[in-house]
Structures are given as structure tokens and as C-alpha cells.
Amino acid sequence: MALKDETPQAAALRNRKTTVEEVEDDSDVSPSATTTATSISSSSTAGKKGKETEDDKKKKAAIAARTLQQQQPKKSSQVKNLLLSLLIATLGMLIKSGYDKFLYPSRDITIEQTVGLQGNCYKTAYIPGPSDIEISGPDQVAFVSSDDRSWVKDSSFFHRPSKKTAENGGIYTLPLNQKNGSPKEVILNNFAGEDFHPAGMSIFRFQEPTTRAWVNRLFVINNSHKGDAVEVFDYSSKANTLTHVKTVNSDLFITPKDIAAVDKDRFYLTNYHAMSNKYGRVAEDVAGFMLGSVVYYNGKDTRKVLESMPNPYGIATSPDATQLYVSSFMEKIVQIYNLTEDVTQGELVHDVDIWVGNHVDTLSVDKHTGDIYVASHPSYSTYLRHKLGYQPQLPSHVVKIEKLSPENYIKQESTQPDLYFFPRPELPPLKWEVKDLFYSNGEDISASTVAAYWNNDLILGSSISHHLLRCTLRLEQ
């Protein structure tokens, strides 16, 4: 507002001054202060941005962690499902295998069915664990491998001890022409073995080319705690001694069960498992793995001639040494092979399988007729418990596989219908016949592992029992 009597120049000057003062009043902050404030403001903004960046990183890390945690249960769930599927498949396989091999009923047989065959039976030869018997007809003597197998429970293996035992096993001779003849332990000459546990045996009789004297050569599987081997002896009937000839060692002798000599130097041997540890062997049986083998020794080297076999136990040759018989414990059959002329390789040609119906053990062959005598077990599970000492007795069953003459071959007829485009096949005749010969509930001898025949007498042994059982058959077999 203009003052009274104020000139126009003075009013203009006053207005100018006021404008300057107002500007100065509005500019209390100096340019430097303004710059500093701006800088502080900028720093504050940058700090906020940096803080926000670290927060973002933390948030991203937390999100990643949560995502990983969410993914891990999914992967863990997938692994669990896979393991569960494998477990179910394994259980299914074990159940089926267990049913087929353990629970599936064997051939029904009772004492009444064989009572007309087995006559007077009596215990004889009270020796520990007679597991195998070999007959020498010309000498009228039976060789018996004996071993007190009380070490089985504490051993890591079924077939041999884990450490040196207090007592060794032995080989006994039993006179066959005496009904109650006493067994005599054979003296071992030139044998330095401090750990002798004989199992399967085989005898081969030959004539010395220089002296023309007959020699009985005995091949014996030794289940030593140091490892399995085959000991070779020559027998002297006059002195009742076995003179050691040599020891055969091989990495292929894993679980040797039985042996069959084909001449004075060569033999075949069965490995009834691929794992020597007893738990691995039980797993083989339960899972149904076929990992057994037959090993051939040509006098210098060993080689496998048969592999992937279902628990080959017993092995024997025909009297003319042209065929080899192998018992399959889990498959309940006896397999017959033809020997070839290749003595270096020992190749075998499969001929036929004979179904027995029980778990077959050691084989014995009648040198005159060629009949095969088979000790067998009705149930594997009870046999295993008995072998470990948890079941006091187990039935004993012996069958004879009779070799038929050509005129007595049994004709087979196919059950397949005769169709126009597919005519009924012609089946080869049966050359063997299976006959039940002996059955016992185990009171007289439990879980027989071998049955040998001589002059209408049946001699049974068991690796768990401490005696032999001798029966005179009532009917001509």
C-alpha cells in the first residue's frame, strides 16, 4: 500500500527493497547448505536402495530355501516309493519262491507204503556225523567219512568251521560181510593235515601197470577251516591205512559238497552255493538264485563245466563211466549228463532230468545194476532248522532210481490233443523209474544224507546223527 505524500520513485524503491528482503528471508539456507542437504538426501536415498537390495537378497534366499524344502520331500517321497516298490517286488518273489520250494507239498509218502520193502533195521557203527559212504565191493568194505559237526552253529559257514577245532574228523572202514561189524578208523600215512574234516568221497579202482596190483584210490573233500581242498589217498586193506598221494587246491572249490572220480587222476566236484558265508547261502536258497556249479579237474587244472545250477548236491558216475549224475537239492531232481571223450575240458552233454519229488541229497550207485540210491528230505525249512541244531529229528526218505533195460522202457504218451496242423508229438520212452524204498519219521535216523546199497542191504548215514542205520530189504530190489 503507497504511503501518503510519497513520490512514485520512492514507492518503486521501497517495493524493490521489500522484494529483496523477501528473497533474502526465503533464502535462509546458503547454497552450500542446500548442496549438503541434497547430498545427504541423495546418500539417504542410496542407503535405502542398498538396504532394500540386501533385503531382496535375503528374501530371495528365503524363497529359494523354501522351494528347496518343498522339493526335498518330493524327491524323498519318490525315493521312498521306489524303495517300497522294490521291497514289494522282493517280498513277492520271496513268497512265491518260498511257496514253490518250501511250502509246496512234496510227494506224499508214509511208513506204511514202504514197510513191505524195509525189513529188519538196526543201528550200527556209532561214529560221529557219518555224512558219506563209499562201497568197495571186492574188499567187502564200506568207507565212511565222519566228523562231529558241533561247530556248525558257531561257524560263519555251513560246510566248514571258521577256526581250528579241538578234534579232527576221520575216515572209517565198516566190514560189510558182518551184520554187526565194528567200524575201524583208518590210519592216514604221509598226511600232515592238522585240520581234517572229511565230507564227500569217491573211490576209483584201477590196476597198476607195473605191478598189476589193484589199487583203491579214495578222493576226499576236506572242509578245513583254512579252505576247502581234495585229498587223494591209496588204500591198503591189509594194514587198513590210507597213504596220502596229493592235495588238490583250487579257487573254484567254493562250497564243495560231493565228488565223483572218473579215473585215477580226474574228478568232478559240486559247489552247491556261490557264497561261502552261511547267511548268503540262505539268501541264495530263499531267493531262488541258481548259482551252483560243477567243477572238473583233469589232473592238472580245474575249470567250471556247469554253471548257474540249482544247488547241485550229490554227484556220481555210472558203472561204465559214460554218464554223470547230479542231484539238484532245491529243484528236487536228478540230472543225467553224458560224458564226452574230451578229457582235457571234461565237457558234458545233458541227457534227461528225473523228478524225485523231495529235496535230494547225496547219490550212491550200485556198481552192478547202475541203479541210483538217493537220500532226500521232505522239507527244506525243517531240514535247515535240524542242521543248525534247532529241531531234534527230521524224517529220512530214500528212493531208488532204477535203470531199466531196453525191453522194460516205459512208453510215454503226450496229453496234447491231436490237431490237424499240429499232430500229437511223440515222446521218448522213460529209461528210469523212481521207486520209494525207505521212509522213517526220524526216530531211527534223522535227516539221512546218504544211502548206499550192498547185497540187499541198505546202509544210511546222516551228517547230524552219531550212528549208521542198516536195513535188510525184504523184497528183491
Instruction: Report phi then psi at 423, rounded to 5.
Output: -70, 155
pLDDT band at 179 (very low <50, low <70, confident <90, very high): confident
Going by DSSP bridges, is the β-strand pair 241-248/187-189 parallel, antiparallel, or unpaired?
Answer: parallel
Whether the CB-CB separation of 384 and 337 falls below 8 Å is answered with no
Residue 227: CB atoms within 10 Å: 15
In the three-class reduction of DSSP (H, G, I as helix; E, B as strand; rest coil), residue 236 is classed as strand
Q: Collect contacts of 299-306 with beta carbons under 8 A, ≥24 apart.
A: 299/265, 299/266, 302/248, 302/250, 302/252, 302/253, 303/252, 303/345, 303/346, 304/252, 305/268, 305/345, 305/346, 305/347, 305/348, 306/337, 306/348
More confidently predicted of 286 and 343: 343
pLDDT at 450 over 70: yes
Q: Domain 111-473 sits in which CATH superfamily?
A: TolB, C-terminal domain (2.120.10.30)
pLDDT per residue over 122-151, tens digit each? 999 999 989 999 999 999 999 999 988 766
Residue 133: CB atoms within 10 Å: 27
Model pTM score: 0.74
Which residues share a beta bridge with 309?
Answer: 292
Whether the CB-CB separation of 238 and 190 falls below 8 Å is answered with no
* The CA-based dihedral angle spanning residues 298, 300, 306, 310, taken in that order and rounded to the nearest 10 degrees: 110
C-alpha to C-alpha distance for 281 and 273, rounded to whole angstroms: 6
Can you read off the three cell numbers belonging to residue 72?
Answer: 526335498
Most confident segment among 78-82, 183-187, 289-293, 391-395: 183-187
pLDDT band at 109 (very low <50, low <70, confident <90, very high): low
pLDDT per residue over 299-319, tens digit each? 999 999 999 888 899 999 999
pLDDT at 4: 47
Can you read off the three cell numbers belonging to residue 469?
Answer: 542205520
Domain ranges for the chain, please list them: 111-473
What is the chain's length?
477
Whether the CB-CB separation of 121 and 173 falls below 8 Å is answered with no
Whether the CB-CB separation of 302 and 312 falls below 8 Å is answered with no
pLDDT at 48: 45
C-alpha to C-alpha distance for 311 and 271, rounded to whole angstroms: 8
Whether the CB-CB separation of 348 and 340 falls below 8 Å is answered with yes
Can you read off the three cell numbers belonging to residue 235?
Answer: 588204500
pLDDT band at 280 (very low <50, low <70, confident <90, very high): low
pLDDT at 26: 46
Which residues share a beta bridge with 80?
Answer: none
Which residues share a beta bridge with 183?
Answer: none
pLDDT at 87 over 50: yes
In the three-class reduction of DSSP (H, G, I as helix; E, B as strand; rest coil), residue 384 is classed as helix
First to last CA, the chain: 155
pLDDT per residue over 20-70, tens digit each? 344 444 444 444 444 444 343 444 444 444 455 777 767 777 776 666 566
pLDDT at 39: 41
Q: What percent of the chain has pLDDT over 70?
A: 68
Which residues share a beta bridge with 354?
Answer: 334
Whether the CB-CB separation of 141 and 172 falls below 8 Å is answered with no
Mean pLDDT of the chain: 79
Whether the CB-CB separation of 216 and 159 falls below 8 Å is answered with no
C-alpha to C-alpha distance for 265 and 249, rounded to whole angstroms: 14
Can you read off the three cell numbers belonging to residue 226?
Answer: 583254512
pLDDT at 44: 47
pLDDT per residue over 239-265, tens digit each? 999 999 999 999 999 889 999 999 999
C-alpha to C-alpha distance for 295 and 312, rounded to whole angstroms: 11
Residue 414: CB atoms within 10 Å: 11
C-alpha to C-alpha distance for 274 and 253, rounded to whole angstroms: 10
Continuous H helices in 297-421: 380-387
Instruction: Report phi then psi at 262, rounded to 5.
Output: -110, -15
Residue 475 is given by DSSP the state S
Can you read off the three cell numbers belonging to residue 99?
Answer: 511257496
Q: What secondary structure does DSSP assign to 146-189, as a single string?
A: E--GGGGTT-SSSSS-SS--SS--EEEEEETTSTTPPPEEPEEE
Q: Which segments are annotated as binding site for Ca(2+)?
A: 132, 258, 361
Q: Which segments are annotated as binding site?
A: 132, 258, 361
